Structure 1
Amino acid sequence: MRVRWGQTLALSSVTLLLTSCAPLLAANPRFATDAGAGPQGAPPETSVADGPPAVEAPKNDLSWQDCTGRVSADAAVPVPSGITLDCATYDADLDSIKGANGSITIGVVRATSADTPAGAGPVVMTTGTDLPSSAQLPVWLSRAGADILKTNPIVAVDRRGTGMSEDIDCRDLFDRQEMIDQTQFEPGDDPVAKLGAVVQTATTTCTDTIAPGDSAYDNAHAAEDIERLRSTWDVPTLALWGIGNGAQVALAYAGSHPDKVSRLVLDSPLPLAVGAESATEQKVKGQQAALDAFTAQCAATNCPLGPDPKAAVDALLTAARNGDGPNGASVAAVADAITTALAFPRGDRVTASNALAGAIASARAGDTGAMSELIARAERTRQTDGQFVNGCSDALNRPTPDRVRELVVAWDRLYPQFGTVGALRMVNCLSWPSGTAPQDPKDLKIPVMLLGVQNDPIVGNEGVAAVAATIINAGANSKRVIWQGIGHGASIYSPCALPPVLGYLESGKLPETDTFCPA
């Protein structure tokens, strides 16, 4: 039986290292010096006698077809010359955990270049629900990601219901827009109740649409989709690179299949058992930190927002809150557009910052074109039905409606630009069937690379430390790469972050120290 949904869619090199990518000590991070101080509080170093497993090439590969133009066009990012993207699909069990019958199609994209060695094993990359892996792959390749192709192909796996995997189309246009706008324009003075009513209808419609797989869209099932890829390839282990929610999926895979992992790179992770309220507050803190960093940079470079960039952002959000947003956009839509632009910048740091500042300044002056495009981009990439279904399936220990009401008030004071919108976003999952957290890894045989971003508008910056504890509890070692920039995914947006990870991919050994990358 097949279940189908509707279709819609580094003077010298030492100097360079110290100035561009300065190492830190691993356990109690501080700047490295020549004093010879060792790591403080670090777990004892352990090693596997035979070393980590090799990254092997598939014995039974998928049926790949060139899709360079299509993927590049969908992502609106040119693929660098000499790189080829190939697409394929494979079938996974609808619910191999609980036993619901049926199958589902998973979409994958492989990147290779003329420099990629024949017979090299692939690095499996996933961004989870943050946005489709197939959409972020061209962005990565247009930056420093292409360096990976000198040693390994990259295979990006789209999560169920997103990107090139089997689509979910379950909310009607009205409910989808109402959820994006958080029912701002509907009558009534209780936004939690207003939004909750819409969410109840959307939840019923979506669970009916995906039945009997209504409990098959969480991190654990996404991990099993990756296991199906491994078994299809007939390789003993996988090299996994997860970013954001994809890091949770990769961590879940390491928990359920610890002997099937040869490399594990977790960029911008959150713990598997993080509760919905904690995850949301970390995200809102990250959005505020990203805005602070953006406005500070903006002021220092005389950007179009004038001498007080944060006041300009506040003015735009206030206008939207009062019903005078760009082209009538809600405050939630404007906030999402700004945080999406900060999380997933286009171009270099200065170009991306000036583009966002220009869009905000123009919108305040009455020219809403650029801001309207940012709003549309955020909706296309962050508000799909597949992301709704997967995101709510992953949301654990959700607050009650009354608790959300309390947080709407409290977070408005604590996080004035994004707190209220963040609190109300939790309403989206209050009616979704409850789930359980995947098992944490218990006996990892390989070391782990952890990466994080100081100003991350999607997950905040607290997850790396929490996941480092998880790795220690699993009996493994880790090293960290921390980028002090703005964005989601240090390995995507910081060239400094890649060299330590490339060395790890090649040898299976961790760098000697943690690494600090400036913005």
Structure 2
Amino acid sequence: MRRIGVAAIVLAVSTACGAGPSDRPEVAVVEQGGGSAPTTETTPDIPQLQTPVRDLDWADCKDSTLGPLGLGAGPAGLSLECARFTTSVDASERRAHVIQIGAMRARLPQTPDNVAPLVLTSGSDLASTSTLAALATGPSASLLERQPIVAIDRRGIGTSTPLDCGPRVDRRALADLGQFTAGDASTVDEVAALGRDATVECTDELQPYELDFDTSHAADDLEQLRQLWQVDGLGLLGTGNGAAVALAYAAKYPAHVGRLVLDAPPATTVDAATAAEQRVQGQEAALADFSRRCAALNCSLGPDPTATITALRDQAAAGRLEAVSSSSLLTAVSAFIGSPRGDQAARVRELADILATAEGGDVAPLQDLIETSETAVGTDGQFVARCSDGQQWPGPGRAKDLQQTWAEKYPVFGADAAVALMRCAAWPTMAPPPLPSTIPVPVLVFSGAADPVIGNGGMATVTGSLTSAGAMWSSVTWEGYGHPVVTHSDCARQALDRYLDSATLPPNGSACPA
């Protein structure tokens, strides 16, 4: 697929006024009321979503999507169709450049033709089209029986025209956290230097649009889709970072929110180090759950899988797993247990066998897994998006302190997570993502007890932001491990179905079993 810097962005003309940066309080907003009263029947003043008046130019992409992802064919008659649409890089410019945004639609033979689609975004965590592919081929495909789902890839990611920061970016060293290049420098200082180099290359390549790949601009892309469809509102399902995109859309275009579902949303008002710690907490909890299942199955990692994985990480850190670094190993493990695939429980042995094979001296299967994981979560587009979205990145001194503290508190993932903060430490200061001041529809919020992609430590800030916006909301917690909730929990899918049909919320504080 062709990759672009700013030179390939096509010139177009637009008229609008610019907007300046906003401020965000440093103290997290925490909800005060314990949630809003749940509705028990259809909310009378919430209109039904509309079918697109003008649709995108869809073309079949089922085989080309599912094959590289290693997914099965899914339910009989599953249709996956892809398209692109054009959006302004910066809608506030009088003369705007435009880029292509990728989309994918999933349907079943029984999916009605005359119902509005649900719009899914995973933000920068994973290509939205990959999340939808996993949803459509697993148990959550039942959601397609009531309406199609359309995934919108964030700009620069997935099927959107991807970003390329140029050949001088040492992506391998960044992925390895400088393990094989640090020399006499500490890993923190080495990654700080690598991050500075990558920042310079990416911002130079994207000028003058280097600051236009954040959450706020991703929300503008959703608005462009709504306008192309010629509908009054969108039904939005935001998973992980995509929930932040959905909230930004509600902040910028509140009148056009038809439904709003936040699945495993990140914290709304915290700095980058706090967000990273919440993610590490989720990784440690998810690994513990995975290990319990693995041990119960008498898997190849032995009676204490966590200890075996930790020992394998230490071997990688000592350079005894060939070219496998501790960071790339942990990234692959976290990506595997955080996959949106619905067959996660059946894949416990798969990961165990890959790691056990590496422990026995054959690292080829592990290297294949690492390559797959880094292709999914480590693109230039994701680097730019994640750096743009983070707030108050710490400096090297703070990162070194966190490296020591987190190594004790979070013994598997903590130390590397602190060093990884340096990847974005040199990124230009960005305005924080906007938060809504009003939300005209009830909001359904899901969280996972052991989420290795986001964690769940930021839920209070999310529900607090909803309360501050005067929204009616309800939260549902899933007790299992993985990300996002709706691709893993049948209980959550039932709540989602009811909400999409009539905007009816479940009782606040509901729990779904693992």
**TM-score normalized by the length of structure 1:** 0.89
Select which of 62, 68, 71 maps to 1:68: 62
Distance 2:111 2:202 in 1: 42
Q: Name which of structure 1's ranges 255-264 and 469-478 shifts more when overlaid on structure 2.
A: 469-478
SS of residue paired to 1:303? coil
Q: Which has the higher contact order (CA 8 A, sep 6+)?
A: 2
User: 1:410 is matched with which residue?
Assistant: 405
Distance 1:348 1:476 in 2: 35
Q: Tell me: CA distance 1:194–1:48, structure 2 relative to 1, closer, same or farther (3 Å).
A: same
User: 1:201 is matched with which residue?
Assistant: 197
Map 1:450-461 → 2, pairs under 5 A: 450-461=445-456
2:320 is aligned with 1:324: yes
Give the C-alpha shift of residue 513 in structure 1.
4.8
The AA in structure 2 aligned to 1:480 is S
The AA in structure 1 aligned to 2:462 is V
Asked whether the equivalents of residues 441 and 474 of structure 1 are also in contact (C-alpha less than 8 Å), the reply is yes
2:173 is aligned with 1:178: yes
User: 1:86 is matched with which residue?
Assistant: 81
User: 1:27 is matched with which residue?
Assistant: none
2:231 is aligned with 1:231: no
Distance 2:444 2:359 in 1: 43
Distance 1:48 1:507 in 2: 5
Map 1:291-440 → 2, pairs under 5 A: 291-325=287-321, 327-344=322-339, 348-440=343-435
Give the C-alpha shift of residue 364 in structure 1.
0.7
SS of residue paired to 1:493? coil
Select which of 19, 32, 53 maps to 1:59: 53
The AA in structure 2 aligned to 1:309 is P
Give the C-alpha shift of residue 446 in structure 1.
0.7
User: 1:210 is matched with which residue?
Assistant: 206
2:493 is aligned with 1:498: yes
Q: Tell me: CA distance 1:248–1:79, structure 2 relative to 1, closer, same or farther (3 Å).
A: farther
Gaps of 5+ in 1: 7-39
Q: Tell me: CA distance 1:473–1:120, structure 2 relative to 1, closer, same or farther (3 Å).
A: same
2:248 is aligned with 1:255: no
Give the C-alpha shift of residue 297 in structure 1.
2.0
Distance 1:129 1:368 in 2: 29
Distance 2:491 2:203 in 1: 43
Q: Tell me: CA distance 1:332–1:210, structure 2 relative to 1, closer, same or farther (3 Å).
A: same
The AA in structure 2 aligned to 1:75 is L
Asked whether the equivalents of residues 398 and 430 of structure 1 are also in contact (C-alpha less than 8 Å), the reply is yes
SS of residue paired to 1:328? coil
Q: Tell me: CA distance 1:518–1:4, structure 2 relative to 1, closer, same or farther (3 Å).
A: farther
Map 1:141-160 → 2, pairs under 5 A: 141-160=136-155
User: 1:275 is matched with which residue?
Assistant: 271
Asked whether the equivalents of residues 5 and 166 of structure 1 are also in contact (C-alpha less than 8 Å), the reply is no
The AA in structure 2 aligned to 1:55 is L
Select which of 226, 239, 245 maps to 1:243: 239
Write the deviation string for residues 49-75 of structure 1: whole angstroms up to 9, x where unpaired: 742121101111111111111112232
Distance 2:245 2:484 in 1: 15
**TM-score normalized by the length of structure 2:** 0.90
Distance 1:243 1:171 in 2: 30
Asked whether the equivalents of residues 55 and 237 of structure 1 are also in contact (C-alpha less than 8 Å), the reply is yes
Give the C-alpha shift of residue 468 in structure 1.
1.4
Asked whether the equivalents of residues 441 and 471 of structure 2 are also in contact (C-alpha less than 8 Å), the reply is yes
Give the C-alpha shift of residue 147 in structure 1.
1.6
Distance 2:35 2:198 in 1: 48
Asked whether the equivalents of residues 271 and 391 of structure 2 are also in contact (C-alpha less than 8 Å), the reply is yes
Select which of 123, 148, 169 maps to 1:128: 123
User: 1:102 is matched with which residue?
Assistant: 97
Give the C-alpha shift of residue 173 in structure 1.
7.0
Distance 1:471 1:206 in 2: 34
Distance 2:227 2:264 in 1: 27
Select which of 212, 215, 218 maps to 1:219: 215
Give the C-alpha shift of residue 375 in structure 1.
1.0
Q: Tell me: CA distance 1:4–1:483, structure 2 relative to 1, closer, same or farther (3 Å).
A: farther
Q: Tell me: CA distance 1:98–1:244, structure 2 relative to 1, closer, same or farther (3 Å).
A: farther
Distance 2:338 2:38 in 1: 35
Asked whether the equivalents of residues 255 and 442 of structure 1 are also in contact (C-alpha less than 8 Å), the reply is yes
The AA in structure 2 aligned to 1:490 is V
User: 1:445 is matched with which residue?
Assistant: 440
Distance 2:387 2:349 in 1: 34
2:287 is aligned with 1:285: no
Give the C-alpha shift of residue 404 in structure 1.
0.8
Write the deviation string for residues 8-58 of structure 1: whole angstroms up to 9, x where unpaired: xxxxxxxxxxxxxxxxxxxxxxxxxxxxxxxx9544568997421211011
Distance 1:48 1:442 in 2: 24
Give the C-alpha shift of residue 305 in structure 1.
1.2
Distance 1:301 1:374 in 2: 22
Q: Tell me: CA distance 1:313–1:370, structure 2 relative to 1, closer, same or farther (3 Å).
A: same
Asked whether the equivalents of residues 136 and 144 of structure 2 are also in contact (C-alpha less than 8 Å), the reply is no
User: 1:10 is matched with which residue?
Assistant: none
The AA in structure 1 aligned to 2:68 is D
Asked whether the equivalents of residues 268 and 463 of structure 1 are also in contact (C-alpha less than 8 Å), the reply is no
Distance 2:130 2:295 in 1: 32
Give the count of matched residue pairs. 484
SS of residue paired to 1:124? strand
Give the C-alpha shift of residue 103 in structure 1.
0.6
Asked whether the equivalents of residues 67 and 85 of structure 1 are also in contact (C-alpha less than 8 Å), the reply is yes
User: 1:13 is matched with which residue?
Assistant: none
User: 1:25 is matched with which residue?
Assistant: none
Asked whether the equivalents of residues 79 and 141 of structure 1 are also in contact (C-alpha less than 8 Å), the reply is no
Give the C-alpha shift of residue 234 in structure 1.
0.8
Asked whether the equivalents of residues 171 and 385 of structure 1 are also in contact (C-alpha less than 8 Å), the reply is no
Give the C-alpha shift of residue 161 in structure 1.
0.6
The AA in structure 2 aligned to 1:221 is H
Give the superposed CA RMSD: 2.0
Q: Tell me: CA distance 1:362–1:451, structure 2 relative to 1, closer, same or farther (3 Å).
A: same
